[in-house]
Every structure is written in C-alpha cells, then in structure tokens.
Amino acid sequence: MNPAGLPEQVKRAWAIAKKDIRLYYAKNSVLIFGILMPFFLFLAFFAGSSQLPLTFLLPGLVGVTLLFTATALSPAIYAWEGRHGTLERLVSCPITIEAMVFGDMIASILFGIGITLITVFIALALGLPLLHGIIMIVSILLAACCFSAIGMLLAVPPTSEPSTPMTLSLLIKFPLIFISGIFVPLDQLPSWGLVLSACSPLTYFTDLVRYSFTGEHFFPVLADILILAVITLVFTAGTMYLHKRTMPKRM
C-alpha cells in the first residue's frame, strides 16, 4: 500500500465497517450464533454445576461472549457479499484488499466489544468487583482484534454458501471453549489438556478477565498479554495475506 494513501484507505475501511454493521449485524444468524448461544451454554453449565462459583464462571462467560460475538459475522461476510453480487463491486473500487479486510474486522471488533461490555456490567451487577480495570480494557481490545482476525481467517476459503464457513466456525469455537479454562479450571486439566490450552488465545483472555475480577490467574499476567498480542499480530497478518491471494478466486 502506498503510504501516502494510507489515511484514505483507513477512511474506506471505516466505510466498509459501517456498511457491515448496518446491513449484517441485525441478521437472525448473527444474534443466534453471537449472543444467544454463549448465553444458553453458560446457563447449561451453571445449572449443571454446583461446585464452580460465579466468580469462576462469570469471567468465562465474558470470554465466550467475546469469542462468539467477534466471530459471529466475519466467517460468512464474503460468502454473503458473493451471493448478492456486491463483492465484485467492492473489489473494483479504489480500495486495497487489506483495507477491505480491515474494515470487516473493525465491524466485528466493535460488535464484539459492545456485547462483551454488557456481559461485564452483568458480572459487576451480580457482585464481582473489578479489581484491575486497565487490564480488563487492554485484554478486551486485544482479544476482540484476535478473535476478529480468526473469524476472517475462517472466511478465506472461497465459497458463496454462508453455511460453510459458519459450520467451520462452530467446529473450531466449541473445542476452544472446552480447552481454555472456561468451565474447567486449568489446574484440573491433564498435561495434554494444558498443552492444548496453551495453543488457544481464549485461554489467555479468560485468564486476564479472571485476574481483572478476582486477582487470581494461572499464567503470569504479562505473559498473557504478550502472548495474546503476538497471536493477534500473527492472525491479522495471516488473514491479510491469505485474503489477498484468494480474493481473485471469488470473482
């Protein structure tokens, strides 16, 4: 990208983000997969577990909510665009592929943060104190960017069927929930479970949220932040590169 054109590309990315929010985020599938599913999943585990306190479960709910909301739309957005014939029009505009992807990520990030903050307020209303507000803000911002990039990575395979990337998204998100310390404490996982959990960005985000509310953590807080930041950068760079290579196949 020409550095001189960077501000203009950012403006166009923001225009794409506003378009996504206006057109797509009121869809029933987004509400179901992004909001209702994590909520009912939490209720199921809360009702079925008498051993785990709210101080453990509510930070997990925050983690699940951000994962599901930040990836609720992004896997299927290009499939929707391709089906309605608007993707070709976007590509023909004076905007780079990176700016297009960035705009879609912005929409996912904003949606994820907005719904997750509601979950945080619910946790506060139920009596959890916010001990480390700065850590909470930093972790939500990082994780929203990370999960949005993951969602865009799932959108890389060219298809005009939204159900294909959405199904793939669920196949990836559900295993992440069960290895990331959401409903099972990390110190109760077997050694192989800890190895898998260390590969999940949701693990580090949930650990940071739990620390923000309770002061307890499994990994060092600085390590959580640094690892989450590195994963975010890797996923963002990867999704930019792969979409640039696969976008011509969608035409």
Write out residues in the chain with pLDDT < 70, as ranges: 1-4, 26-35, 37, 40-41, 44-51, 84-85, 250-251
pLDDT at 48: 60
- Contact between 153 and 125 under an 8 Å Cβ cutoff? The reply is no
pTM: 0.87
Report pLDDT for 201: 95
Burial 219-235 (b: 16+ CB within 10 A, else e): bebeebbebbeebbeeb
d(CA 15, CA 1): 18
Q: Among 240, 245, 209, 212, which residue's Cα sits nearest to residue 62? A: 209
Q: Comparing C-alpha atoms, which of 151, 155, 167 is closest to residue 249?
A: 155
Position 95 scores a pLDDT of 84
pLDDT for res 6: 81
Domain ranges of the chain: 3-250
pLDDT in tens, 75-133: 878 877 777 667 777 777 788 889 889 999 999 999 899 889 988 998 898 889 999 99
Other Cβ atoms within 10 Å of 176 Cβ, number: 21
The pLDDT of residue 132 is: 96
